[in-house]
Amino acid sequence: MSRADPSGKPRMTLPRRLLLSAVLAAPVIRTARAQAWPDRPISVVVPFLAGGSTDIAARIMAERMAPKLGAQARLIVENRAGAGGSVGAEWVRHRPADGYTLLLASASALGTNPAAFPQTTPYDPVEDFTQIAVVGGGPIVLVVPAASPFRTAQDLLAAVKAKPGGYTWATSGAGGIGHLTGEYLKMRAGGLKAEHVPYRGGSAVMEALAKGEVDYSLEVLASVATHVRDGLSRGLAVSSLTRHPLFPEIPTLDEVGLKGFEITTWNILAAPRGLPPEIADTLSRAVGAALTEGDTSQRLAQAGVDPARPGTPAGTRAFLAAEVAKFRAIVREAGLTLGRG
C-alpha cells in the first residue's frame, strides 16, 4: 500500500520500488545472458540412432557451426532414438530454452508423427518449439525391384489401377514420410488400392524389394541411392518438383502426369519453446554460413541431405506450419486411423 509524502503525493513503498526495478532490468539481464552465450557445450539432439542421414547431417553441421558461434563454442551430438523421432523431440521440449539444447528434427519427428499419431504424439510441432533453420531435405523415390516388369511410373500406376488390391507396397514404417507420400500418390493417381506393408527401417524395405517380396516402395533417397546405383532396384520417379542431380535420368511425379506433386523429407534445427530471439537469430545465421562454406554441401549431399538455402527463424516456422498442414490433410483425406504398435 502507498503512503503520502508531505506534498500529498503517493509515495511508493520499498517492495513496489524493487518490483518496478526488476521489471525494467529484465531486458538488460536477458540481453547480458544472451551475449555471454555460449559459455558451455551445446547439445544437438538427434532423435534417431547414430549412422543415419539425420545423425550424419547433425555431426557435419555441429563441426561447421561451432567456429561461427565463438572461439570456445562446442556442439556435441546426442542420440535419443525412439518412436520415429518423437522420443528425442519430447525430451528436447522439456529442456530449458537457453540455447544449450537443440534438436535436429526430421519430417517424421515434427511432421508426419504429429499428423498420423495425434493421440500419442505429446507435443505440438509448431507451438512447442522454437524453429531456427531448415538444414536440408530430399525427395522420396518411387522404386521397384530390378526384376519388375514395370519400366515407368505410368506403367506401374496403370497396373495398380487395373487390379485394385492386387499389388503390395512397402515403407519403412506406418505413419512415416514414405507412407504418407504413398497414400498421397494413390489419391492423386485416381484412388488406387494396394496393400501397404510396413517394415522397420529403410534398409529392411530395400532388402524386401531386392528379394521381390513387394511390388514397389516409396523411400527416402538416402535409403534408395546405393541399391539403385548397384542395380538391385530401379527408380521410377521422385517426389520433388525437379529431378535430383544424383539420378538425373529419373523423372519427377510432376513430369509423369501428377502435376504439382511435391513431398520431400527435411531436417530442421529447433529448440525448446521460448528461446530468446537473439540466440535463435545467431544460430540461424550460423546454419546459413555453414551451409555455404567449403565442402559442406557436398558432404551433406553424400549423406542424402540436399542443403537448404539460408533462411530465418520466421521463415522456418512458416515452412514447418505448411508441412504439418499438408501431412494432416493427407491423413484426413486418406481416412487413415493409425495407432503405434
236: left (phi over 0), alpha (psi -120 to 50) or beta: alpha
**Model confidence, pTM:** 0.85
Q: Give the number of other CB atoms < 10 A from CB of residue 180.
A: 29
Binned at pLDDT 50, 70 and 90, residue 12 comes out as very low
The helix/strand/coil state of 332 is helix
Is 22 exposed, middle or buried, given 0-12, 13-18 or 19+ CB atoms closer than 10 A?
A: exposed
The candidate with the shortest Cα–Cα distance to 218, out of 206, 230, 210, is: 206
How much is the CA Rg of the chain, to the nearest whole Å?
Answer: 24
Are domains 39-137+265-334 and 139-238 of this chain identical in fold?
Answer: yes
The predicted-structure confidence for 206-234, as pLDDT tens digits, reads as follows 999 999 999 999 999 988 999 999 999 99
State the Cα angle at 233 between 228 and 235, rounded to 5°.
Answer: 65
Can you read off the three cell numbers belonging to residue 269? 534445427
Report whether CATH 3.40.190.10 matches the domain 139-238: yes
Choices 3.40.190.150, 3.30.70.580, 2.40.40.20, 3.40.190.10: CATH for 39-137+265-334: 3.40.190.150
* Residue 153 confidence (pLDDT) above 50: yes
Q: How far apart are the first and last CA of the chain?
A: 60
Where along the chain do its domains lie? 39-137+265-334, 139-238
Binned at pLDDT 50, 70 and 90, residue 34 comes out as low
Residue 303 Cα distances to 58, 189, 227, angstroms: 11, 31, 15
**25/5 Cα distance (integer angstroms):** 26
Stretch 39-63: mean pLDDT, rounded? 94
